Amino acid sequence: MKTIRFLDWPPKRYYGESHLFHRWKRQLAQRGYKVELCYDHLQPKLQNSECLIIHSRYFKEWQHLPTRNPQNEDALLGWLQQCKKGVGQLIWFDAADSSGSADLGLLPYIDLFLKKQLLRDRSYYTGNHPNTNLRVWLPALLDGPALEGRPEFVTCASTDLPRIRLGWNVGLNDYRYYGYKMTKLSNFLGYKLHPLDFTDTSTPRPLDLAFRGTLHGDVNNQQQVSAQRNKIITLLQRLERNVSAGPLRGRPAYLKELKTTKIGISPFGWGEICSRDFENFIAGCLLVKPSMEHLETFPNFFVKDHTYIPVRWDLADLEERLNHILDHYSEYQDIAITGQQHFAQLSSDHEGFINHLEQAIKPL
């Protein structure tokens, strides 16, 4: 039996990226893995782990770039160096939302580097690419001055690329009602008695489009992160369709709204993948999203024109695509059906996850 210790991010310990270790505890044990969830990096046993995976947001003061400083970086590096003396496999799980990474500077201190989504073109990570923006889609949206001062990749050597591996994305989090309303029960309520609440794609859908959010001004230079969202909100304000938009609503009202909506739009923000993607699949909406063809992610819920409809990163084709889909909606319903079925299958595939985990943590 191989023991994996996972140093988790306490605020999301009940329904986040570690949820699957609770959900599939029995299946993992049957395959020879015992997973221990830990919440204190000062526990002495961590220093002698056979395999230790560190959720990057546990060290939130360091990973959050505005609060990263020499003091918290020295503390983190010192702790990693101490771990390296006794830990068999030391693995950093970069849980940041973007496919870019500001954590690659840790590679000399760890064995493997896992990430929720990786760029297909790995040259981005080595600096051998003209676009070094941490969020690779921003140059398609913004002009040069707006990009000045934006975070860039922390590059690595090309020889380090084999140690950068694909982890798993937030599609394996808990999207049941319990995952939000009763978070402390999330990891202990089995899916047989408490399954995901899928809405049939054939359900009457009087709403054409739904997107909730508000325009973000240039507060602390964060407008760039909201650039796609702002464009969508502006478009929906003038689109002559039955649109549900405006400020965020309470979760029950929001989910009820999605269940009566034909198209759900999910732009990039801090990263490419977010919970809105999976809420749309569950609600039976047709997902329209900026193209994901640049990414590798696991599970791969995003198959172009099969599980979602891609649009350009600058959203120049969004209005035309939305109008065409709504004018020929019956021709696109199969994509909504396939998207939901694909999500249901992959998000419950414990064998697929365990196989992927084995490859992700396999020693070099």
| 17-37 confidence digits (pLDDT tens) | 999 999 999 999 999 999 999
Would you place residue 311 in the very low, low, confident or very high pLDDT band (cuts 50, 70, 90)?
Answer: very high
What residue segments make up the domains of the chain, in order of their start? 2-171, 197-346
Note the pLDDT of residue 182: 64
Q: Which residues contact 112 (CB under 8 A, 6 or more apart)?
A: 89, 90, 91, 92, 163, 165, 360, 361, 364
> Higher model confidence: residue 108 or residue 213?
108
| Predicted local distance difference test score (pLDDT) of residue 309 | 98
Options 3.40.50.2000, 3.20.20.60, 3.90.850.10, 1.10.1060.10; which CATH number does 197-346 get? 3.40.50.2000
- Write down the pLDDT at residue 184: 76
Pairing of strands 309-311, 286-290: parallel
Q: What's the confidence (pLDDT) of residue 248?
A: 78
Least confident of 102-111, 138-147, 221-230, 258-267: 138-147
What is the pLDDT at residue 222? 52
Question: Is it the case that residue 223 has pLDDT exceeding 60?
Answer: no
* Mean pLDDT over the full length of the chain: 91
- The closest alpha carbon to 32, from 356, 354, 347, 352, belongs to 354
DSSP letter at 288?
A: E
Q: Return the pLDDT at 26.
A: 97
**Does 178 have pLDDT greater than 70?**
no
Please report the pLDDT score of residue 251 as a whole number: 83
pLDDT band for position 347 (cuts 50, 70, 90): very high
pLDDT at 215 over 70: no
Cβ atoms of 310 and 293 within 8 Å: the answer is yes
Residue 30 DSSP symbol: H
Predicted confidence (pLDDT) at residue 144 exceeds the cutoff of 60:
no
- Average pLDDT, stretch 193-202? 94
Residue keyed to tokens 């526990």 = 43
- Is it true that 2-171 and 197-346 share their CATH fold? yes
Using pLDDT thresholds of 50, 70 and 90, give the confidence band for residue 185. confident
> Quick one: average pLDDT of 133-149?
71
Q: 115 versus 253: which is more confidently predicted?
A: 115
Q: List the one residue out of 276, 300, 299, 297 whose CA is nearest residue 289.
A: 276
CA dist 108 and 85 (Å) reads: 13
* The CATH number fitting domain 2-171, selected from 1.10.10, 3.30.1370, 3.40.190, 3.40.50: 3.40.50
Q: What is the mean pLDDT of residues 245-249?
A: 80
pLDDT of 49: 97
Closest CA to 81 of 57, 46, 105, 108: 108
* Range with the poorest average pLDDT among 5-9, 206-210, 217-221: 217-221
Percent with pLDDT over 70 in the chain: 93
Q: Give the pLDDT of residue 64.
A: 87
pLDDT at 313 > cutoff 80: yes
Task: Give 64 or 360, the one with higher predicted confidence.
Answer: 360
Of residues 1, 121, 103, the one with CA closest to residue 56: 103
Predicted local distance difference test score (pLDDT) of residue 214: 66
Quick one: pLDDT band at residue 156, thresholds 50, 70, 90?
Answer: very high
Whether the pLDDT of residue 143 is over 70: the answer is no
